């Protein structure tokens, strides 16, 4: 019985390793095909606009909204007692793909089909006046790291212009 269990466990490990390796290889292949430029303005290459994570700069357009998300202590598990937090969310005009070409991604996990992005403006940049407007943003992408990050990718914003 123990030998059969050990054999099944070993088989499961081999299968998971094979699946993970295949997935990693396909991401690398897509990355090599999709990312052809490090310009600050993305080029439409297939479906959506393609950018890389920090340190590359991204520039694109969208509509700025303010949305409520639940915060501490339970981040939405107990809405009656959780703090209500308001964040700037950008809805891009085009679908965004944010690529991490490195195999070891950490927090900056490749994200395809991004339709909303939480903005983190620089300390000296006020974006309140752009609420509800169509804008152009310029900044660098980074991945979700904590409970205050409400979208898969966030944009550290350096510059905003009204369109």
The two tokens of residue 140 are 């660098």
Segment 98-154, tens digit of pLDDT:
998 886 667 888 999 999 999 998 877 889 999 999 999 999 999 999 888 999 999
What is the distance between the alpha carbons of residues 146 and 6, in angstroms, rounded to a whole number?
38
Distance CA 103, CA 33 (A): 16
Question: For the chain, first and last CA: distance in Å?
Answer: 69
37-67 residue pLDDT tens: 344 444 444 478 999 999 999 999 999 999 9
For tokens 């606009």, the residue is 49
Whole-model pTM: value is 0.70
The full set of domain ranges for the chain reads 49-162
**Alpha-carbon distance values, 106 to 45, 53, 109, 115, 142 (Å):** 25, 12, 7, 22, 11
According to the CATH classification, is domain 49-162 in 2.40.50?
yes
Please state, in angstroms and rounded to a whole number, the distance separating the CA atoms of residues 40 and 58: 5
Question: What one-character DSSP code corresponds to residue 28?
Answer: H
């Amino acid at each position: 019985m123990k030998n059969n269990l050990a054999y099944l466990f070993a088989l499961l490990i081999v299968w998971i390793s094979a699946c993970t390796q295949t997935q990693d290889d396909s991401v690398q292949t897509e990355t090599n095909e999709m990312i052809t430029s490090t310009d600050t303005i993305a080029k439409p290459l297939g479906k959506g606009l393609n950018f890389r994570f920090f340190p590359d700069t991204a520039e694109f357009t969208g509509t700025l909204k303010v949305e409520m998300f639940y915060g501490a202590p339970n981040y939405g598990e107990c809405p009656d007692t959780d703090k209500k937090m308001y964040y700037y969310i950008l809805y891009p005009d085009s679908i965004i793909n944010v690529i991490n070409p490195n195999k070891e991604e950490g927090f900056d996990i490749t994200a395809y089909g991004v339709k909303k992005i939480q903005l983190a403006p620089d300390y000296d940049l006020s974006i309140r006046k752009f609420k509800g407007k169509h804008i152009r943003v310029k900044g660098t992408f980074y991945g979700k790291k904590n409970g205050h990050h409400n979208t898969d990718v966030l944009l550290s914003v350096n510059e905003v212009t009204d369109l």
